[in-house]
Amino acid sequence: MKVAPDSLPTDLGAAHAMILAERAARMEAEAVAARAQAVTSSTDALIAHLKLQIEKLHRELYGSRSERKARLLDQMELQLEDLEAAATEDELTARQAAAQAQTVRSFERKRPARKPFPDHLPRERVVIAAPRNCPCCGSAKLAKLGEDVTETLEVIPRRWKVIQTVREKFTCRECEKITQPPAPFHVTPRGFAGPNLLAMILFEKFAQHQPLNRQSERYAREGIELSLSTLADQVGACAAALKPLHALIETHVVAAERLHGDDTTVPILARGKTDTGRIWTYVRDDRPFGGQSPPAALYYASRDRRQEHPERHLKSFTGILQADAYGGYNPLFKVDRDGGPLTQALCWSHARRKFFVLADIATNTRRGKNATPISPIALETVKRIDALFDVEREINGLGADERLQRRQQESRPLVTELEKWMRAERAKLSRSSPVAEPIDYMLKRWGGFTSFLGDGRICLTNNAAERALRSFALGRKSWLFAGSDRGADRAAFMATLITSAKLNDVDPQAWLADVLARIADTPIARLEDLLPWNWSPLTIAAAKAA
């Protein structure tokens, strides 16, 4: 609704009041929307939980023990896992929004009563130092009134224990004021899991590809009852807590001069089937051209492979994109693109692979009588491309200017001769020749393949992105599919954190444990200290000493 110009305030004080009122109304509307989303997510998780319980009871009473039925239960458990984690994320978002609004009540999910920790677990008593003087009046006449104990379940590699954090209560004999230290921070609301346990759960799920239902079963065999819903609750809360770090990594990656881009398939659960979704990765790695910026990887998930996804992912990126010849990237290279066109750099390793299949002598030898004839043209092409790779191995890690100079002297003559030879050979081939297709693939995109000759920052291959996607290719055999779009997004979110840590030679699990322990007390201005490339195990000792 537009406000008539004559109804606007004329003095500065009234205008200021109107702006504050508008801002309060907006924050209130956002809080209402966040609460509604939290209620919806909580309801969806509850429905999925009840459906799973009904199906399990039905199977116990009447159902068969068939493998198909077992797979159905696994499907339902994976779907519940994603819904529970999403519900916790939305609950925390609604709580933050309600804290900024005046009239919107905070939303809190109903959770089953937590069982006490087993008595056989050792207890470690940590007493928070009590104040020596009353913070109200300054008197030193403090008398112990009692204590509150907060139990936190923690794990030390394969050894479980319960840490009892004791908060002693003192009362002042002068002013009768009761004093007690604040309760320890937990990532989850009314949390009980320590940072090392949370880091292990996250690492097992997103790096070791162990779904939460399997983790729950393993913990139960060790005498610790942690249900799938409880573990999913922790995952959702950790994802909400780690969002600021993810945003910093995202900003760092998109600010690169050059990115490696690629994608791979990931099945996403749909009604009665799975859709072939995609995991996209963009890797920043300046080390091949002597860059000093730390490497990092950024992941996104989508349910399809439409070109709108890379356009959205790289909306603010300006620079060089190394990728395969997927047509969805083409709008990024157009002259009229907002922010200017990206520079296209294609992968010689990808092109070489097509020729190598036709020239693989070892594979053909194993086939025996069924072997297809080796293509002499393909074999010669592989040899010529390998000569380019020999040059690249020698200049890897040098500065961009020096790399460019060596390429002009050594690589350019090889590329010029290769193009001339390929065009001459292609003219002799029929349309149905197997080697004609890979030759056409290269010649039609020759500008993208030869862009490395004009810029020392460009690599000859896109192997950095392919390596970053290898974990998803391996993990598919373990977790089969993502339970929902939110689940795929969360997997991409955590892969960004874990892979970025690995690229900087940091133990992801130790890093996550330290970050989860410190992130609540770290000011926003110092969050960059927790990034993998700024972190080291010494920061733990330094934080304790402070």
| Per-residue pLDDT band at 150 (split at 50, 70, 90) | confident
Residue 106 lies in a domain: no
Positive or negative torsion for Cα 120, 121, 124, 125: negative
Average pLDDT of 271-281? 80
On the question of pLDDT at 525 being above 50, the answer is yes
The pLDDT score that the predictor gives to residue 1 is: 46
pLDDT at 456 over 50: yes
pTM: 0.75
Q: How far does CA 78 lie from the centroid of its chain?
A: 18
Domain end call among 213, 241, 269:
241
The answer as to whether 151 is a domain residue is yes
More confident position, 70 or 457: 457
Domain that holds residue 228: 114-241
Give a yes or no: residue 83 inside a domain.
Answer: yes
- pLDDT score, position 431: 82
Mark whether 279 and 293 lie in a shared domain.
yes
For residues 295 and 342, state if they share a domain.
Answer: yes
Across the chain, what does the average pLDDT equal? 83
- CA atoms 41, 79, 154, 493: torsion sign: negative
Q: Which of 193, 214, 241 is the last residue of a domain?
A: 241
Q: Of 251-260, 428-437, 483-492, 533-542, where does mean pLDDT reach its minimum? A: 533-542
Q: What is the mean pLDDT of residues 268-272?
A: 71
Q: What is the spatial distance between Cα 254 and Cα 319, in angstroms, rounded to a whole number?
A: 9
Quote the pLDDT of residue 391.
Answer: 92
pLDDT, one tens digit per residue, over 401-411 is 999 999 999 99
pLDDT digits (tens, 9 = 90+) for 471-480: 887 777 666 5
Same domain, 139 and 237: yes
Question: What pLDDT, on the 0 to 100 scale, is given for residue 272?
Answer: 65
36 plus 125 within the same structural domain: no
Beta strands 159-172 and 178-179 are antiparallel
Q: For residue 369, is pLDDT > 60?
A: no
- Asked if 118 and 95 sit in the same domain, the reply is no
Q: Are 66 and 208 in the same domain?
A: no
Mean pLDDT throughout 277-295?
A: 91
Model confidence at 364, in pLDDT bands (50, 70, 90)? low
Q: Residues 506-524: pLDDT tens digits?
A: 999 999 999 998 888 888 8
Q: Looking at the structure, do residues 342 and 471 belong to the same domain, yes or no?
A: yes
Residue 109 lies inside a defined structural domain of this protein:
no
**Contact between 113 and 192 (Cβ < 8 Å):** no
- How does pLDDT run across 304-361, given as a tens digit for each residue? 889 999 999 999 999 999 998 888 899 999 988 888 899 999 999 989 888 888 876 5
**pLDDT for position 481:** 63
State whether 10 and 52 are in the same domain. yes
Tell me the pairing of strands 123-127 and 159-172.
Answer: parallel
User: Is residue 122 located within the same domain as residue 218?
Assistant: yes
Q: Which amino acid is at 274?
A: T
Band of residue 446 on the pLDDT scale cut at 50, 70, 90: very high
Confidence grade of residue 72 (pLDDT, cut at 50, 70, 90): low
Q: Is the pLDDT of residue 227 over 60?
A: yes
CB 171 within 8 A of CB 212: no
Question: What pLDDT, on a 0 to 100 scale, did the predictor assign at position 314?
Answer: 93
Look at residue 39 and tell me if it is in a domain: yes
* Residue 267 dihedral angles phi and psi, to the nearest 5°: -65, 135
220 with 270, same domain: the answer is: no
Clarify whether residues 148 and 217 are in a common domain: yes
**108 lies in some domain:** no
Q: Is the pLDDT score of 69 beyond 70? A: no
Q: What is the pLDDT of residue 115?
A: 77
> Could you read off the pLDDT of 77-116 as tens digits, one per residue?
666 677 777 777 777 777 777 777 767 677 666 666 677 8
Alpha-helical segments (H) within 280-430: 308-313, 348-359, 361-367, 376-395, 400-406, 412-428
221-237 average pLDDT score: 88
Burial of 413 from C-beta contacts in 10 A (0-12 / 13-18 / 19+)? exposed
Asked which of 241, 263, 281 is the last residue of a domain, the reply is: 241
Residue 105 in any domain: the answer is no
| Rounded-to-integer distance, Cα 280 and Cα 147, Å | 51
Residue 212 falls inside a structural domain: yes
- pLDDT for position 267: 79
Tally of structural domains, the chain: 4
Q: Are residues 485 and 438 in the same domain?
A: no
